[in-house]
Every structure is written in C-alpha cells, then in structure tokens.
Amino acid sequence: MSKKLWGTRFPKKTCTLTDKFTSSIAFDKRLAKYDILGSIAHARMLGKQRIIPSKEANAIVQGLNAILKDLEKGKFKFDLAAEDVHSNIQDLLVKKIGAAAFKLHTARSRNDQIALDIRMYLKEEVKELVEMVALLQNSILKLAKANQKVIIPGYTHLQMAQCVLLAHHLLAYLEGLERDKARLLDAKERADIMPLGSCALSGTSLAIDRKAVMKELGFKKITENSIDSVSDRDFIIEALADLAILSVHLSRIAEDLILWATKEFNFIDIDFSFCTGSSIMPHKKNPDVLELIRGSVGKVQGDLSSILVLMKGLPSSYNRDLQLDKPPLFDAIDTVKDILEIFVVLFQNIVVEKGAIACRLTDESLFSVDVVEYLIKKGVSYRDAHDIVGKMVRDCLDKGKKISSLNRSELKKYSPKLEPDIKNILSAWKSVSLKTSYGGTNPGLVEKQIKNWEKKLNARI
Ligand code: ARG
C-alpha cells in the first residue's frame, strides 16, 4: 500500500475494507495520461511563478515525462493498492526523482485535479466520437448512392404507406446523425474550460497563473468560480445525454435493418460475416450484431440515468460521490464507440434485394395519395377527394381489383373528374417523381441531397 496523500493527520491506519471500498484506481487509471499532462503543465507554471524553485520544477517535469513514456510504451504498472490514479502517479514520481516530487501538489487538490482529468479525457473522446459518426454517415451515404434509383414502400405505423426512394430513407439517418455530431461538439465547448487552480474549493493564496496552464493544455477558457469547478459535472451529463440521443438513433437504424432483413420484408441481405446461426435450427441466419446494437443502447441510457441520480441533491462543492461519475461516463463512451465501429463496416456489407423490393410496388394502394392529389389539382376539395379515393380503394380491395383496371365509366361512378389518364400516375417511379416539395423524395432532389452530403462529409473527414 502506497503512502496516503493525507495520512499524517490520522492516528491510525484505515481499515483494509475502507481502502478497498474507497479506491478508484481500478477505473480511473485510464485517466493517467491526462493526469500526467495536467501535472506537467502545473509544475511548469509553479516553476515560472517561482512558487517552487525552477530546478525542482524541471526535475518534476522530466520525471513525469519519463512516466508518460512508460505509459505510452505499456510499461507503466498500475499499483492497484493505490487509492487513485493521482496517488499512483505521485508515488512513482517520488520513486523517480525523490523529495522534489512532494512539491508537485502545491496549490492543487485532487478535487480540481480530477475535474481537469475528466475534462481533458472528454474533449479527446468527443473528437473521436464525432469522427466515428462521420465515418458511419459516409458508409450509409455510399449505400444510398449505390442504390439511388431503388424505390421502396415507405411505412407509417409499420403499415405500407407511400413509395419513397431507398436513398431518401437512408439520408434521413444522416440528418439525425449530423445533429448528434453538432450536439456532441457543443458539449465539448462546455468541457473545454480549465478548472485547475480551484484547489479544494476556495482557490489559493499562492500566486498561480491559471491562464498559463489553460494555454499549455489547449483549453479555451478557465473556470470562473472555484466552488463550481470542483462541484459540477453538468458537462458529463450533457455529453451522456447527447450519447443517449445518438444511441437512440443507432438503435432505430438497427431496428429498420433487422426488419428489412426478415424473409417477410426481404429488402436487404446482410453478409454472413455479420450474422450468427442457431445451435438448434440449422436454417437460421440471425442479425445478432444489429440486435446487440439495439440492446447495448439500453446501457447508455442507464449510464445517463445513473449520473443524473448521482448528482441529484448533492450538496455544493466536492463530495466523494463524484468519484462514481466515471464508470457510467466510460461505459457510455466505450459502448457507443463499439457500436459505431461495427456499424460502419456492417453497412458496407449490405446487399439491397432490388427484385424482391420491386415485387412489393405492385400494390396500388401505395398511390392513393397521388390520386387524391390528382383530384385536388382538378379543383376537388381535399375532403371530397379523400372520400372518393377511400371508396375506390375499398371497392378494389373487396373485389380484388386494381385501380388501373377500372374503365372510364367505372371511374366516373366515383367522380366526374376521374379520367383514364390516372393510370399514368399509378406507378412507383411516377409517384416518387411527383414529390417535388423541398425535402421530398423526388429523385432529382434526392440526387442533390446526395451531392450535398458528399461535399459536407468529405470536407470534414
Ligand atoms: N477519486 C476522486 C474522484 O474521482 C478524487 C479524489 C478526491 N478525494 C478527496 N478525498 N477529496 O472524484
């Protein structure tokens, strides 16, 4: 067991159960890199400000750089008996450079130190997450472009509704993911504020230079209030809320693909390399990857809940409860990264079943709104047009007839405005072509959207 940073005031040793229960090294060790970088900047500042002799500041910086190198090379052995990552690194530094190491903690508390570490970690992770979301968008865009002319029946309430371009449906995913990136980048802004120098809660009487540390660590601003700096974790809640929303999107995309891969839909085939089989039913090819994506999302939502519950009603300033912000934070980030990593490749392994999809487009109920709009264009009110087409669709379904098979006099029974030329609009291609309103599924508009996305995504990757 390493020497406690606070042991002197204690007349006796803490119980080993207490040590085990309060230790966080098992999970906060992943913050080691940020802890070291933060300490290097802090030591340099202490030296420059002549709070500690520059010789000792240099020794500390050199020692920490050596520890960082070991960490990068995987040679850093974490001491799982240490209370936390801060104590572990401090111990190592003492071993490396001796007594000068004890000056590193001048004008600093673990309360502001941990706040710094998580902010640095979060900034880096958010950057990576946004890049991964962009890769997924690119993967989806490629599938859309390769199948630009494919029309599918669109669904509402999971009932066949109207024809849409498959590409249009896929581009809808890109819109949501784009907002997810924007939300995450926004959360990064709130993480990009440097808390070090707040110390335990009140600041310090020593002449520190917080702005110098901010600049060295690449932060945009410094925190304005030392109590708030050690107290709040709203920047984590915000990032987790954004990840929870992103994962809702990911689960809904997964669900669409699961449905589309069923025999009943048969819109897509997912390559065997991204499916699994059944131990009992030899014929099965199951979309387990997608199901696990759908399922993992629950963890991310749980992570958000757990940090909200952790923070609710906490007294101001630092409380040890805050140590427990890290497991949900790490879990949410790891889970979403794992999902994104496999989703990017899964999208490259989807084949669109064009023939099977085309067979679904012969159901003329898909064009009922087109006939309604045909009548509206001839001056019929929306209400009357809806009734006319409703009656026509009902009769056709009852008699097993197609609208396109009705002759002139049959059509006239429903409305004098109906002419045999309605046959011209009873096709999937015509149906999508007619949807020229901005944002609609018209092929020309969708092609333009594809081009816009290509420009937008290429510019950012
Ligand atoms: N491990 C703590 C955390 O993650 C930081 C240590 C602060 N400990 C203390 N006794 N003030 O929040």
- Would you kindly state where each structural domain of the chain is located, as residue ranges? 7-106, 111-155+164-208+224-359, 362-460
* Mean pLDDT to the nearest integer, 71-95: 94
Whether the CB-CB separation of 137 and 460 falls below 8 Å is answered with: no
Query: How many CB atoms are located within 10 Å of the residue 220 CB?
Result: 12
Between the CA of 114 and the centroid of ligand 1 the distance, in Å, is 7
Structure tokens at 46: 């202490």
Is the pLDDT at 450 greater than 50? The verdict is yes
23 is catalytic: no
What is the rounded average pLDDT of the residues 17-26? 92
In this predicted structure, the answer to whether residue 5 has a pLDDT above a threshold of 80 is no
pLDDT (average), residues 234-239: 98
CA–CA gap between residue 135 and residue 66 (Å, rounded): 35
In DSSP terms, 222 is beta-bridged to 194
What's the CA-to-centroid distance between 60 and ligand 1, angstroms? 22
3.10.20.30, 1.10.443.10, 3.20.20.70, 1.20.200.10: CATH of 111-155+164-208+224-359: 1.20.200.10
**Residue 424's pLDDT band (cuts 50, 70, 90):** very high
Whether the per-residue pLDDT at 435 is higher than 90: the answer is yes
pLDDT of residue 14: 83
Tell me how far apart the alpha carbons of residues 166 and 147 are, in angstroms, rounded to a whole number: 7
Establish whether residue 111 lines the binding site of ligand 1, counting it when its CB lies within 6 angstroms of any ligand atom.
yes
| Rounded Cα–Cα distance for residues 406 and 259 (Å) | 34
Structural class in CATH, domain 7-106? mainly alpha
Residue in 399, 121, 412, 107 with CA at minimum distance from that of residue 239: 121
Burial pattern 1-20, b for ≥16 Cβ within 10 A else e, equals ebeebeeeeeeeeeeeeeee
The superfamily CATH assigns to domain 362-460 is Fumarase/aspartase (C-terminal domain) (1.10.40.30)
Contact 224, 240 (CB under 8 A): no
**Residue 3: which pLDDT band, with cuts at 50, 70 and 90?**
low
pLDDT, tens digit, for every residue of 164-202? Answer: 999 999 999 999 999 999 999 999 999 999 999 999 999
Q: Is 325 in the pocket of ligand 1 (CB under 6 A)?
A: no
Percent of the chain with pLDDT over 90: 90
pLDDT band, residue 302 (cuts 50/70/90): very high
Q: Residue 138: left if φ>0, alpha if ψ -120 to 50, beta else—which one?
A: alpha
Determine which one of 54, 278, 305, 316 is catalytic: 278
| Ligand 1, atom 4, residue with closest C-alpha | 323
Q: Given this model, what pLDDT does residue 99 score?
A: 95
pLDDT of 212? 98
Quick one: pLDDT band at residue 458, thresholds 50, 70, 90? confident
The better pLDDT of the pair 5, 354 is held by 354
| Mean pLDDT of all residues in 394-419 | 95
Q: Please identify which residue in the block is written with the tokens 């340099």.
A: 44
Amino acid in the structure at residue 237: I
